[in-house]
A and B are shown apart, each in its own frame.
Chain A
Amino acid sequence: MKEISEIYLPDDVRYAEDHEWARLEVDKVRIGLDDYAQDQLGDIVFVELPQVGDTFKQGEEFATVESVKAVCECYLPVSGKIIAVNTALEESPELVNNSPYGDGWFVEVNPGDLSEMENLMTHVACMEKLKGAA
């Protein structure tokens, strides 16, 4: 597992307490799992995603991620309707390990309330929190 200082937290996304990230892309928000969470889980073997059209409130469970011997629930960082899911994860769940902020994204959401983004942590705040917990 990585040392805290090795965790990559890019500055173009916001972070939720449970290690989901959210990136505002014009009128939609792309969601994924951060580097810390994928590293803790280890080799990811399966990601269960919602269906396009499902709607969730902020903080509701929308996906589960599985390694060989652990399961982790993911909570949507911003309310909204799912407009796209990353079907590449069906065949290649390892994308979450290899490219957590790129090809390993989970879903895209049509956000209900963009101000919710403000409740999420910046990369600086997220790193401080990790250091505090370590």
Chain B
Amino acid sequence: MKESLGATGLILNEPLLWEKGKKGRCGFSFPRRDVEPCPLDEELTGEGPDFPDLSEVDVVRHYTRLAQWNFGVDTGMYPLGSCTMKYSPKTNEKQASLPGFTGAHPLLPSSLSQGALKMMFEFEQYLNEITGMYATTLQPAAGAHGEFTGMLIIYAFHKKQGAQRSKIIVPDTAHGTNPASVSLCGFRPVPVTSNEQGILSVEAIAEIMDQDTAGIMVTNPNTLGLFEENIQKIAQIVHAKGGLVYCDGANMNAVMGMVKMGNIGIDVMQLNLHKTFSTPHGGGGPGSGPVSVAKHLEPFLPVPRVVEENNTYILAEDYPDSIGKISAFHGAFGVIIKAYSYIRSMGPENLKKASQLAVLNANYIKERLKGTLHLPYDRPCMHECVFSDKHQATQNIATLDMAKRLMDYGFHPPTVHFPLVVPGAIMVEPTETESKEDIDQFIETFKAIASEARENPDLLHHAPKSCKVKRLDEVTAARKPCLTG
């Protein structure tokens, strides 16, 4: 095995912001005061917030030290299943920081915002093409926000039909956001279990689909990394009873250019630009969750819509069946620029190749690790594969122990304990931007950890050793919450 990536270097301790600084310092260059002071009525004014006063150097050192305690995709492999932690190209950041975009006000007349509107219009067309859907809104601010938008569209559709329905079918492999989005929209989620192959069976859906079910919410490929092979038949059953098919498109990175959701019976879906389209995750956002719909759902999309008229772009509000507004303005425009820039840099062939290589990487890991780790569904996977800790459990080693030990070797752990249908799940999504050498090293590392589990289990129980902190006391954090300092 190659030398471990994991090493320790000098990192610095750093106190909390308010334990630093001195009254009278400032890290902000004040604009010139060119008008007379004009005090506000004292009845209205408060003390001012209790912030520390810091110099620019204080602030820069503080955040530089904090940054060094973090691990990102730019640091190393981050195979977090279901999250598509692919490399975020730097040119995207550059385009999003062009002053014409960062300084743009969202409520100016459209004649003053043509570049932004043109880009949004074109981007919607690109997403329509990739998904095979008819129309797209860019307003939802994240994947779950897109799911909610999709559910509102389904709700509006049935309302327009004159008969509201009360249930949505949600498979047991779904992301937690799915049932939460369903119930936020007033629907009741009806669970359905996947079959022994890890996918939905036609019979299971036929059994529960009825006239009071508004539709089904399917993640495809699903969270076991498997393609829902029966999707067309399932869609037929749902449609025959007047329901709609929602696809959680969080895993679209597996099938760009290979499958068009619009062609296989999907009525509405969301895309996660921070997953499939390379925009960085920012330690938990901002993301962006555009929603694409089939033609019969277009009237329900949020407003305003970007419309082209004689080569000019306008924001149109006149859609009486629209669900309304889902964000104050036009969605996460700054994120959309990055995804647009990604699609333009990649072009059609490379997008398809990205999906193929993402699937290649995942299958390669599955094949090479399946002797080491238990593989509950031994079939070709898509962009991610799910193992479990069943082999190691006999040595009193759990998923979490292996995950923590990976850190010492310089890897971010995979997603753990999800999906819930696999006890002790280890969900690996390498993405296409990891090279064969890095993937080989990840595989060798996991094998080494499995040997340690047999020979020296304490190494795992006490991991990580090389991070800024050891395992943290989450029980006390939740029993006696300390959320502010």
Report A's interface with B, CB cutoff 8 A: 43, 45-46, 66, 68-69, 93-94
Instruction: Give CA–CA (A94, B473) in the complex, Å.
Output: 14
Instruction: Give CA–CA (A88, B257) in the complex, Å.
Output: 59
Residues in A with CB closer than 8 Å to B478 are 45-46, 66, 68
Q: Which chain B residue lies CB-closest to A94?
A: B479
Residues in B with CB closer than 8 Å to A45 are 475, 478-479
Q: Is B474 an interface residue (CB 8 A)?
A: yes
Q: Give the shortest distance, in Å, between A91 (CB) and chain B (any CB).
A: 9
What is the predominant secondary structure among interface residues of chain A facing chain B? loop
Query: Closest 6 CB pairs between A and B?
Result: A45-B478, A43-B475, A45-B479, A68-B474, A68-B478, A68-B475
What is the predominant secondary structure among interface residues of chain B facing chain A? helix
Q: Give the shortest distance, in Å, between A42 (CB) and chain B (any CB).
A: 8
Residues in B with CB closer than 8 Å to A93 are 479
Residues in B with CB closer than 8 Å to A66 are 478
Instruction: Give CA–CA (A132, B19) in the complex, Å.
Output: 58
Report B's interface with A, CB cutoff 8 A: 417, 474-475, 478-479
Q: Which chain B residue lies CB-closest to A66?
A: B478
14 inter-chain pairs at a CB distance below 8 angstroms, sorted by A residue, are: A43-B475, A43-B479, A45-B475, A45-B478, A45-B479, A46-B478, A46-B479, A66-B478, A68-B474, A68-B475, A68-B478, A69-B417, A93-B479, A94-B479
Q: Which chain B residue lies CB-closest to A42?
A: B475
Residues in A with CB closer than 8 Å to B475 are 43, 45, 68
Q: Give the shortest distance, in Å, between B128 (CB) and chain A (any CB).
A: 40
Instruction: Give CA–CA (A95, B479) in the complex, Å.
Output: 12
Q: Give the shortest distance, in Å, between B424 (CB) and chain A (any CB).
A: 13
Instruction: Give CA–CA (A45, B474) in the complex, Å.
Output: 10
Instruction: Give CA–CA (A98, B475) in the complex, Å.
Output: 15
CB < 8 Å A-B pair total: 14
Instruction: Give CA–CA (A99, B136) in the complex, Å.
Output: 56
Q: Give the shortest distance, in Å, between A47 (CB) and chain B (any CB).
A: 11
Q: Give the shortest distance, in Å, between A76 (CB) and chain B (any CB).
A: 23
Q: Which chain B residue lies CB-closest to A43?
A: B475
Residues in B with CB closer than 8 Å to A43 are 475, 479
Instruction: Give CA–CA (A94, B474) in the complex, Å.
Output: 14
Residues in A with CB closer than 8 Å to B474 are 68
Residue of B417, B474, B478 ringed by the most chain A CB atoms within 10 A = B478
12 additional A-B pairs beyond A43-B475, A43-B479, beta carbons within 8 Å, are A45-B475, A45-B478, A45-B479, A46-B478, A46-B479, A66-B478, A68-B474, A68-B475, A68-B478, A69-B417, A93-B479, A94-B479
Residues in A with CB closer than 8 Å to B417 are 69
Residues in A with CB closer than 8 Å to B479 are 43, 45-46, 93-94
Q: Which chain B residue lies CB-closest to A92?
A: B479
Q: Give the shortest distance, in Å, between B53 (CB) and chain A (any CB).
A: 37
Instruction: Give CA–CA (A93, B475) in the complex, Å.
Output: 11
Instruction: Give CA–CA (A43, B480) in the complex, Å.
Output: 13
Residues in B with CB closer than 8 Å to A68 are 474-475, 478
Instruction: Give CA–CA (A94, B476) in the complex, Å.
Output: 10
Instruction: Give CA–CA (A93, B417) in the complex, Å.
Output: 25
Residues in B with CB closer than 8 Å to A94 are 479
Q: Give the shortest distance, in Å, between A98 (CB) and chain B (any CB).
A: 13
Instruction: Give CA–CA (A54, B27) in the complex, Å.
Output: 55
Residue of B417, B474, B479 ringed by the most chain A CB atoms within 10 A = B479
Q: Give the shortest distance, in Å, between B46 (CB) and chain A (any CB).
A: 32
Residue of B417, B474, B475 ringed by the most chain A CB atoms within 10 A = B475
Q: Give the shortest distance, in Å, between A73 (CB) and chain B (any CB).
A: 15
Instruction: Give CA–CA (A52, B479) in the complex, Å.
Output: 23
Instruction: Give CA–CA (A64, B474) in the complex, Å.
Output: 19
Instruction: Give CA–CA (A93, B478) in the complex, Å.
Output: 11
Instruction: Give CA–CA (A31, B475) in the complex, Å.
Output: 25
Instruction: Give CA–CA (A43, B479) in the complex, Å.
Output: 9
Q: Which chain A residue lies CB-closest to B475?
A: A43
Instruction: Give CA–CA (A112, B474) in the complex, Å.
Output: 40
Instruction: Give CA–CA (A121, B314) in the complex, Å.
Output: 70
Instruction: Give CA–CA (A68, B417) in the complex, Å.
Output: 14
Q: Which chain A residue lies CB-closest to B417?
A: A69
Residues in B with CB closer than 8 Å to A46 are 478-479
Q: Give the shortest distance, in Å, between B473 (CB) and chain A (any CB).
A: 10
Instruction: Give CA–CA (A93, B479) in the complex, Å.
Output: 7
Q: Give the shortest distance, in Å, between B396 (CB) and chain A (any CB).
A: 12
Instruction: Give CA–CA (A68, B478) in the complex, Å.
Output: 7
Q: Give the shortest distance, in Å, between A117 (CB) and chain B (any CB).
A: 33
Q: Give the shortest distance, in Å, between B317 (CB) and chain A (any CB).
A: 42
Q: Give the shortest distance, in Å, between B139 (CB) and chain A (any CB).
A: 32
Instruction: Give CA–CA (A105, B119) in the complex, Å.
Output: 61
Q: Which chain A residue lies CB-closest to B478?
A: A45
Instruction: Give CA–CA (A75, B475) in the complex, Å.
Output: 25
Instruction: Give CA–CA (A69, B417) in the complex, Å.
Output: 11
Q: Give the shortest distance, in Å, between A48 (CB) and chain B (any CB).
A: 13
Instruction: Give CA–CA (A45, B478) in the complex, Å.
Output: 6
Q: Give the shortest distance, in Å, between A39 (CB) and chain B (any CB).
A: 15
